[in-house]
Amino acid sequence: MTAPAPRPLLVVDAANVVGSVPDGWWRDRQGAATRLRDAVARLTGTGLPRLPGPLDVVLVVEGAARGVADTPEVRVLAAPHSGDDAIVDLVRHETAQRPAVVVATADRGLRDRVTALGAQIVGPRTLPYP
């Protein structure tokens, strides 16, 4: 029996996406990241407009949001230091193994770093958040 083909990967820059919505997230960073995790969970089946599902989703959290847990739909990667560096490392590792790697962020520096590795970019408003 052959292994299933790898699915496209959506990497979500939690700090950047949460920070794009001025809803008081700064008072409860872990709660905001948890709401984002739950909002993007359905994307594993539906995908995005330019990235049809099924796909894998990784939510990268940092700082006070590090306590957010995985769900069956969304793997949560707690960055030990910089969330951007963790995203770059993940993209570097996954790009050769996946049909597509897409990073959800508006961070210009991060966008440049991951597109140089072959990832595509979508903006925070592409995601179903808040």
Model confidence at 29, pLDDT cuts 50, 70, 90, reads: very high
**For residues 7 and 112, what is the distance between their CA atoms, to the nearest angstrom?**
23
Cβ count near 50 (within 10 Å)? 10
- Residue 23, pLDDT score: 87
pTM of the model: 0.95
Q: For the chain, where are the alpha helices, taking DSSP H only?
A: 14-19, 29-40, 43-46, 83-94, 108-115
pLDDT tens readout for residues 107-122 = 999 999 999 999 999 9
Instruction: Tell me what percent of the residues of the chain surpass a pLDDT of 70.
Output: 99
What contacts 116, CB < 8 A, 6 or more positions away? Answer: none
**Residue 124 clears pLDDT 90, i.e. is over it:** yes
**For residues 94 and 88, what is the distance between their CA atoms, to the nearest angstrom?**
10
